[in-house]
């Protein structure tokens, strides 16, 4: 498979879309990211890396980090995770309180904000020092350059995160948050502010294409866990666009409002793409098209 050529073609074909849509503007550091960025990486299970565009530039990975959180929670708690969070697509906005009320405080899945708060609450109950455990996992999985939080993003999340505060207190009111809501929120705002490049993300997600082995060949998850994280990504990874993604892209994927998307073709590759402007549903517009082109051109998808 000539991934290098395919990536060049994709970069060419998506160019008209780059800058279309709207960047996430709710926090200043995201609003300031140049709208013309586009980068993409394909990293095969053999460790070969193909890149195009701004694939080395770091950006705010936002909700992509929720996959690390979920994997870590499954390692710590096993299937007990699912007593406190569902794994069904939400059918509504990622930060909706409606469904949480209707379903009595059990978030629909671990990738909507309420679900990620519950997952972090689980992790914090194991590790009082908190969200650094997630960064440890990222470093362990990715095994390359050190990654960290973007302090400006974290501060901005904290200052504007009123709805996430509402979600945390709402979860607490249902008894589905063991720790102090403010502590869980601090961890959440940090988690959302991790900065990584497409290349770094692809390395860190390697384990989801290899059945659990990290980029350096260490086992960081079981084969069973990997299949399940991939399944949850497919049904819940791209907000209320899961069906459209499965239809158009056909790969498990997780997006973030920073404009990044990571997709996994089990046994073959991890693909990461970044372009900051978003569709109405909150997924990178050019990024989604790039992934659709990738599965069309390679004729590889899970279906």
Residues that bind its own copies (CB under 8 A): 86-92, 96-102, 108-109, 162-163, 165-170, 172-173, 181, 226-228, 230-232, 234-236, 240-244, 246-247, 250, 252, 266, 301-303
Closest separation in Å from C-beta 247 to its own copies: 5
Toward its own copies, which CB reaches closer, 53 or 89? Answer: 89
Sign of CA dihedral 155, 164, 122, 240: negative
State the nearest-atom distance from the C-beta of 99 to its own copies, in Å.
7
Residue with tokens 């692809």: 202
Instruction: Kindly tell me which of 230 and 272 has the beta carbon lying closer to its own copies.
Output: 230
Do 69 and 120 contact (CB within 8 A), yes or no? yes
Alpha helix (H) ranges present in the chain? Answer: 3-14, 28-31, 65-77, 98-102, 113-126, 132-142, 151-160, 162-173, 181-192, 198-204, 206-209, 223-236, 242-248, 285-298
Quote the least distance from Cβ 185 to its own copies, whole Å. 10
Q: Which helix (H) or strand (E) holds 193?
A: none
Q: In angstroms, how far is CA 128 from the centroid of its own chain? A: 24
Nearer Cβ to its own copies, position 106 or 133?
106
Shortest CB 79 distance to its own copies, Å: 10
Residue 231 beta carbon to its own copies: minimum distance, rounded to whole angstroms: 4
Q: Assess contact for 93 and 281: CB atoms under 8 A.
A: no
Q: Pick between residue 186 and residue 241 the one whose CB is nearest to its own copies.
A: 241
């Amino acid at each position: 498979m000539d991934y290098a050529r395919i990536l060049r073609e994709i970069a060419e074909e998506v160019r008209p879309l780059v800058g279309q849509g709207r960047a996430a503007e709710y926090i200043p550091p995201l609003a300031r990211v140049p709208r013309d960025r586009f980068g993409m990486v394909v990293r095969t299970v053999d460790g070969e890396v193909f890149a195009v565009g701004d694939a080395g530039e770091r950006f705010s990975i936002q909700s992509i980090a929720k996959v690390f959180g979920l994997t870590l929670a499954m390692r710590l708690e096993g299937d007990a995770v699912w007593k406190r969070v569902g794994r069904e697509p939400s059918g509504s906005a990622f930060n909706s309180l409606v469904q949480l009320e209707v379903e009595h405080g059990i978030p629909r899945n671990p990738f909507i904000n309420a679900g990620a708060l519950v997952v972090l609450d689980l992790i914090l109950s194991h590790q009082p020092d908190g969200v650094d455990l997630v960064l440890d996992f990222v470093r362990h999985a990715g095994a390359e350059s050190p990654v960290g939080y973007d302090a400006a993003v974290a501060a901005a999340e904290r200052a504007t995160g009123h709805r996430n505060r509402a979600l945390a207190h709402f979860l607490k009111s249902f008894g589905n948050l063991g720790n102090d809501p403010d502590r869980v929120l601090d961890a959440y705002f940090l988690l959302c502010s991790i900065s990584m490049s497409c290349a770094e993300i692809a390395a860190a997600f390697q384990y989801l294409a290899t059945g659990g082995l990290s980029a350096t060949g260490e086992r960081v998850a079981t084969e069973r866990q990997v299949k399940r994280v991939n399944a949850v990504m497919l049904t819940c990874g791209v907000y209320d666009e899961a069906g459209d993604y499965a239809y158009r892209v056909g790969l498990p994927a997780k997006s973030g409002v920073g404009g990044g998307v990571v997709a996994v073709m089990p046994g073959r590759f991890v693909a990461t793409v970044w372009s900051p402007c978003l569709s109405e549903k909150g997924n990178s517009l050019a990024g989604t098209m790039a992934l659709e082109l990738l599965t069309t051109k390679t004729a590889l998808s899970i279906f």
